[in-house]
Amino acid sequence: MKTLIDIDEPLLKEAMKLSKASTKKETIHRALSELVKSCRRQSLKSLAGSGLLGLNHAELRKIRRQNEKVAH
């Protein structure tokens, strides 16, 4: 999908340098992926100890690996 957006050029250049991404598209894709992962982690952390998940650490790790395979 093509989208026209205004991006802070110095911030994008810094992100490209830090991520070692070779294109702007790759940099933005990596940034969005990291944002989604971070939000999911925060969401799971908020459920810690609530008993709502009913999963142990190994089960959560297995789900994460499956999600990473789907994302690639």
pLDDT greater at residue 9 or residue 51: 9
Provide, rounded to the nearest whole percent, the portion of the chain with pLDDT above 90: 51
The torsion of the CA quartet 67, 18, 20, 2, rounded to 10 degrees, works out to: 60
pLDDT of 53 strictly over 70: no
pLDDT score for 71: 66
Confidence of residue 49 (pLDDT cuts 50, 70, 90): low
Burial of 27 (0-12, 13-18, 19+ CB in 10 A): buried
- How far apart CA 19 and CA 23 sit, in angstroms, is 10
Residue 33: C-alpha distances to residues 11, 27, 28, 50, 51 (Å): 17, 10, 9, 27, 28
